[in-house]
Chain A
Amino acid sequence: NAGVMQNPRHLVRRRGQEARLRCSPVKGHSHVYWYRQLPEEGLKFMVYLQKENIIDESGMPKERFSAEFPKEGPSILRIQQVVRGDSAAYFCASSPRARSEQYFGPGTRLTVT
């Protein structure tokens, strides 16, 4: 019974490159959430997606960041032209319904050099 899977676990990018983070939710979960965690800080909501739809992206920067959750395949968080300030742990969570408990993946630790 696999939980939320994320890959890669660690990602190093130079400034200006693109970062692609993948999240496979728990089997049967159609609700996916992305969070960012800076060192020594809490989790900040970025975006909420259901299959093929972005429901709420109020926590995601308007520029350089995008997210998708296609009909087939994992959810993708994409960061274009990364900057040092994007260095953080990015966690994905999934839930079976809109207002139920969220289960987190192991995170992707992005380092921008």
Chain B
Amino acid sequence: GEDVEQSLFLSVREGDSSVINCTYTDSSSTYLYWYKQEPGAGLQLLTYIFSNMDMKQDQRLTVLLNKKDKHLSLRIADTQTGDSAIYFCAENTGTASKLTFGTGTRLQVTL
């Protein structure tokens, strides 16, 4: 089955690191993604990781994948107020252009 879970809320202070976690259940997922959604807006692709990778770094973003535990995380270094948004992890199973999204984590950045 396909079921992607995330914690609902995370609050961090500006300048700290944020870690958003995601658990997925479909072991055949080929790619895993992180999207950001700001209020009233669509989804912005932040980064993605191929399932045979353990880690991917892209500027302030670090994605870690533990395929054995089906656990995905997104670390945002030096979190800024502009990072306040809802973050969704998503998976697809490679042969289908269908994304299954997590429930979303609302990140609040405080001063």
- A and B from one complex: no
Residues of A within 8 A of B (CB): none
